[in-house]
Structure 1
Amino acid sequence: MKDDDQARRNIGTVTTAMRELFVEKDLTALDRYWAEPYVQHSPQMPDGLGTLRAAVPGLEGFSWEPQRVAAQGDLVFTHSLVHGWGPTPTVIVDIFRLEEGRIVEHWDVVQELVPPEETASGNSMV
């Protein structure tokens, strides 16, 4: 039961952190939910929280719509539909690693949203 409790807490931390930072554009969320050293594996972003601090205020029309969220150990996975990160709707899988309840590492996979009728399978990406 302890692992389930930790997974629920980690999911709550990540979903609250993402909502407060990216949707509400509350930069103080970085101080509450992230910690340095922050290791960034996204190919366009360097390590550290400075990039997020600089990028968030300039996001126009941004929305983050998590479709699936799961946790395993110290990792939380979100599968989301995002508007305003790029010129077209985007599907993003984010993987966050937490230490002592704070986000300390991040990986992502980013794809432009393709409508189901244009996919080889006819299935939705989200």
Structure 2
Amino acid sequence: MEDGDMVAVHGRYTNWFGKSMIAVDYFHVVDCKFIEHWDVMQEEVPANQVVNGNTMFPIK
């Protein structure tokens, strides 16, 4: 996602200290340079452990 000088990327990181993590990384970009970075991460919960049975990061 991009909005002006802000960019967000949703991703899945495997083997992050032995765990799979779902994350959103936010970047503030000025003149094609990363000025700031923030992220939000959560350990991935397997589909068989959630009530609705959906995966957190579906791969199609």
TM-score band by shorter chain is 0.7 to 0.9
Q: Which residue of 2 aligns with 1:84?
A: 15
User: Post-superposition, which runs of at least 4 consecutive aligned residues in structure 1 deviate over 3 A?
Assistant: none
Q: CA deviation at 1:89?
A: 0.9
Structure 1: gaps (5+ residues)? 1-69
Structure 2: gaps (5+ residues)? none
Task: State the SS of the aligned residue for 1:117.
Answer: helix
Greater Cα offset, 112-121 or 95-104: 112-121
Q: How many residues align?
A: 57
Q: Which has the higher helix share?
A: 1
TM-score after normalising by structure 2: 0.80
C-alpha RMSD of the superposition? 1.3
Q: Which residue of 1 aligns with 2:41?
A: 110
Task: State the SS of the aligned residue for 2:16.
Answer: coil
TM-score after normalising by structure 1: 0.42
**Does 2:52 correspond to 1:121?**
yes
Instruction: State percent identity of aligned pairs.
Output: 35
Q: Which residue of 1 aligns with 2:30?
A: 99
Q: Which residue of 2 aligns with 1:35?
A: none
121 and 84 in structure 1: CA distance in 2 versus 1, 3 angstrom threshold: same
Q: Which residue of 1 aligns with 2:5?
A: 74
* Aligned amino acid, residue 106 of structure 1: H
* Aligned amino acid, residue 21 of structure 2: T
CA distance in 1, matches of 2:15, 2:47: 21
Q: Cα deviation per residue 1:29-77 (whole Å; 9 max; x = unaligned)?
A: xxxxxxxxxxxxxxxxxxxxxxxxxxxxxxxxxxxxxxxxx11111111
